[in-house]
Structure 1
Amino acid sequence: MTLTVSTPAAQGVAATDVLAFLDAVEAADGIQPHSLTIVRHDRVVATGCWAPYTPERRRLLYSVSKSFTATAAGLALAEGLIRLDDPVISYFPELDAEITDPRSRAMLVRHVASMASGHEAETLDRARALGGGDLVRGFLLVPPDRDPGTVFAYNQPATFTLAAILQRVTGQTLTDYLRPRLLDPLGIGDVTWLTDRSGRQLGFSGLHAPADALARLGLLYLRRGVWDGERLLSPQWVAEATRAHIATAGVMAGDDRQDWDRGYGFQFWRSRHGYRADGAYGQFALVLPEHDAVIALTAATVDMQGLLHLVWDRLLPAFRAAPPPGQDDAEAALAERLAGLALPPAPGKPAPPERAGHRSGAAFTRSGGDGADQPGLRGATVTEDDDGWRLTLQEEGHSLRLPLGPGGWTVHERPLPVAVSGGWSDGDTLAVDVQFLETPHRLRVACSRAEGTFTARWHTTPLHPGPLTSLRASR
């Protein structure tokens, strides 16, 4: 289904304020926007992607995956496949004799759905260490610090366990179960989900989907489970999933956590305004019932609260009770601006300013002081052929060849979708930005001919470890 498009003014949205938000987010230090969609009164009033990102390309949504897992739980609940007050251990009888801690045995489905397992901190590393390859087993072997339902901890194995329950009772992966019940009715195209070693989809992260999946999921919840006249979710589930089940104030780290201190539902966060699906580095589906609106964002930033501040300060004033007057020029300017959104490329020339002394095949080793980012990256080679200069990165049996374009972003689809910009800043230094287009992540590589070394730095660090060639949606 194609989302219906409208002019902003026809839905009471001021284009001047949307333009102000675009100005602010592009000027903000440390925030790299990737896409924006604004829906009001069921109409898309503004949408755009910052090139080299495109609307149809799948991208990693990180913990927005949790909200899709919760939606699968709502569907399974309606079908009688799960019950919220069932003990978690009842779905894993093969572990019954091994799980003896009374708090682990008292943990209910509703507790793992609401991050209220009784643990006071993230258990992922401990669960992996104890599980012997089974993250559910490891999670249930980590004794909760307090009674389930009494304390919040953002806890990846809790969601993984919910996802494992769903995959067990349905006999399907999450994507296969959601395809006829949610993904196809909402018009969400091809998606993939990362799996663990047992083949179970992670649930807590790893979903790759087009950017407008965020807007579609948000609009389904805004409409209390109804999509295009068809009920997909019960209104009771929507209400339960999006209300605060457990307090979060004061339990999350950080100096400015205004939108993380409002309580947690079933894999949805409460916000200062409405509620949201929320993924690392700025993947958001913001549902604003008080404004009858959804704002969907993808980005790359460690300052997620700063990005939300910009939304509340600059975008919320755009929502008016009546069409704002005198917006024709602003709407034309907004349409032009949205059509031309682009990330600034890294500076550099496609060839060294002076060719003397340069040779094809120059090899670079990792700088001795550059061991923190992507430690498996061992070497780099710079070559020249008839098509220009090429940077090749070597990493643990993998190589990634990156041709440099004449300027701006050059997109390459193989061996994985990346965009490359940058070039030579002088005769000795080659600096290149590599944007991994199915993720939020950008790597800057700088090669020094004088030193024979290179450095590599992430703008935002991938949360799923692996070689560079793994930074893509699974095929």
Structure 2
Amino acid sequence: MMQKFVLAIVIAVAAFVGPAAILAQSDNLPRSTPEAQGVSSAAIREFVETANQEVNTMHSFMLVRHGHVVAEAWWEPESAEKQHVLWSLSKSFTSTAVGLAVAEGKLSVDDQVLKFFPDDAPPEPSANLKAMRIRDLLTMNTGHQDEVNLREADHWVKAFLAHPVPHKPGTHFRYNTPATYMLSAIVQKVTGQTVLEYLTPRLFEPLGIEDPKWDASPQGVSIGGYGLFLRTEDIAKFGQLYLQKGKWNGKRLLPSDWVEQATSKQVSNGSDPSRDWDQGYGFQFWRCRHGAYRGDGKDGQFCLVLPEQDAVIAITANTRDMQAELNVVWDKLLPAFGDKPLAENPDEQVKLKATIAKLKASR
């Protein structure tokens, strides 16, 4: 039976939100009309209509411009309060934990991986395994030809280290979720805390991210490469932190040089100018077209950061065609950003709300 999702949206307008309400929700990002932040309400409406028709199936969408939420939407049964699986978008959070551990002097990206697991290494490690560094884990350049299936392993770190490394680390890009698990295991080794515990006072609490959940391996290590559950606005806050080069409410949470390294092209991963998966890879972040970068996860989970537009876009979905999902963003939202505030357009804002109030996913 075809399941229908009713889309509920809130377009928070400054005129409708008094100072008391803002103070009562101080952990939330400030809200604004689209036009006040230089974005066309008509263009947002066109994006929502197109995404609803062409993306099977959208779950949520939030657009942040100049630090203000100008549009937000959820398809029932999703809601603002409900956490959503991030899948591999979790990887960008694990990278952040590594960056914080580097800043605290607990490790270096040039440390060899075997250094942290002397008791779990195979009896005769290969030269390539010995050469593998944290940097190679971060950039998906471990030297593996294929992924090891950790789910079938009794001990995940031992299984990773026993897996053949036919290529010299640093020379062969191969998307590798177990590599991110190893980053999580290394952070736990040097801090004595899971990545979830380590990030809580350093990232989640300062951003006002409440009760994050992260699945763990049989050894009690946060999975790292997936397994994190957050709200849509939590994703948007994370993107905004990176857009602000690691600063939040005037306080530095993450070194700016780490933000620069993590989100820059560290390795090449293709040459097709029309694909967002061929624009280079950083430290658990993908480069995009249009000068943007992103964390992303299976089925269409996105944290898009657009520095040139001073914007962040958070999307959750359940789709098999993630490139088509991004194409709607580039085709419909990218042209919507203006350099200056636009004249308020209450008619278009009403149309936007009315359009969204009627939306139902048909598949």
Specify if TM > 0.5: yes
Contact 1:24/1:310, CA 8 A, preserved across alignment = yes
Taking the aligned partners of 1:99 and 1:72, their CA distance within structure 2 comes to: 31
Contact 2:101/2:187, CA 8 A, preserved across alignment = yes
* Residues 1:245 and 2:266 are matched in the alignment: yes
Question: 1:103-142 maps to which residues of 2 (within 5 A)?
Answer: 103-121=128-146, 123-125=147-149, 132-142=153-163
Q: Which residue of 1 aligns with 2:193?
A: 172
Taking the aligned partners of 2:95 and 2:340, their CA distance within structure 1 comes to: 35
Taking the aligned partners of 1:265 and 1:53, their CA distance within structure 2 comes to: 31
Corresponding residue pairs, total = 336
- SS of 1:301's equivalent in the other structure is coil
Q: CA offsets, 1:321-357, max 9 Å, x none?
A: 123346221122224445x3764478xxxxxxxxxxx
Q: Which amino acid aligns with 2:53?
A: A
173, 177, 181: which is aligned to 1:156?
A: 177
- SS of 2:220's equivalent in the other structure is coil
Q: Which amino acid aligns with 1:233?
A: L
Taking the aligned partners of 2:91 and 2:278, their CA distance within structure 1 comes to: 18
**71 and 342 in structure 1: CA distance in 2 versus 1, 3 angstrom threshold:** farther
Q: Note the C-alpha offset of 1:24.
A: 0.4
24, 45, 58: which is aligned to 1:33?
A: 58
Q: Which amino acid aligns with 1:192?
A: K
Q: Which residue of 1 aligns with 2:116?
A: 91
Q: Which amino acid aligns with 2:241?
A: L
After TM superposition, the structure 1 stretch with the greater mean CA deviation from structure 2, 226-235 or 90-99, is 90-99
Identity among equivalent positions (%) equals 44
312, 316, 337: which is aligned to 2:334?
A: 316
Unpaired segments ≥5 residues, structure 1: 347-475
4, 7, 11: which is aligned to 2:37?
A: 11
Contact 1:248/1:262, CA 8 A, preserved across alignment = yes
- SS of 2:70's equivalent in the other structure is strand
Question: 1:24-63 maps to which residues of 2 (within 5 A)?
Answer: 24-28=50-54, 31-63=56-88
- TM-score where L is the length of structure 1: 0.68
Q: CA offsets, 1:131-153, max 9 Å, x none?
A: x5122221222222211111110
294, 297, 308: which is aligned to 1:290?
A: 308
Contact 1:196/1:202, CA 8 A, preserved across alignment = yes
* Residues 1:222 and 2:248 are matched in the alignment: no
Taking the aligned partners of 1:345 and 1:311, their CA distance within structure 2 comes to: 20
* Residues 1:75 and 2:100 are matched in the alignment: yes
Q: Which residue of 2 aligns with 1:272?
A: 289
- SS of 1:143's equivalent in the other structure is coil
**11 and 82 in structure 1: CA distance in 2 versus 1, 3 angstrom threshold:** same
Q: Which residue of 1 aligns with 2:20?
A: none
Task: Pick the structure with more helix per residue.
Answer: 2
**114 and 324 in structure 1: CA distance in 2 versus 1, 3 angstrom threshold:** same
After TM superposition, the structure 1 stretch with the greater mean CA deviation from structure 2, 165-174 or 304-313, is 165-174
- TM-score where L is the length of structure 2: 0.88
Question: 1:371-386 maps to which residues of 2 (within 5 A)?
Answer: none
Q: Note the C-alpha offset of 1:95.
A: 2.6
Contact 2:57/2:361, CA 8 A, preserved across alignment = no
Larger RCO, structure (CA 8 Å, separation 6 or more): 2
Unpaired segments ≥5 residues, structure 2: 1-26
183, 204, 214: which is aligned to 2:204?
A: 183
Q: Which amino acid aligns with 1:215?
A: A
Taking the aligned partners of 1:199 and 1:345, their CA distance within structure 2 comes to: 41
Q: Which residue of 2 aligns with 1:203?
A: 224
**343 and 73 in structure 1: CA distance in 2 versus 1, 3 angstrom threshold:** farther
Q: Which amino acid aligns with 2:157?
A: V
Taking the aligned partners of 1:92 and 1:15, their CA distance within structure 2 comes to: 54
**310 and 345 in structure 1: CA distance in 2 versus 1, 3 angstrom threshold:** closer
Task: Pick the structure with more strand per residue.
Answer: 1
Q: Which amino acid aligns with 2:281?
A: Y
Task: Flag the structure with larger Rg.
Answer: 1
Taking the aligned partners of 2:358 and 2:321, their CA distance within structure 1 comes to: 21
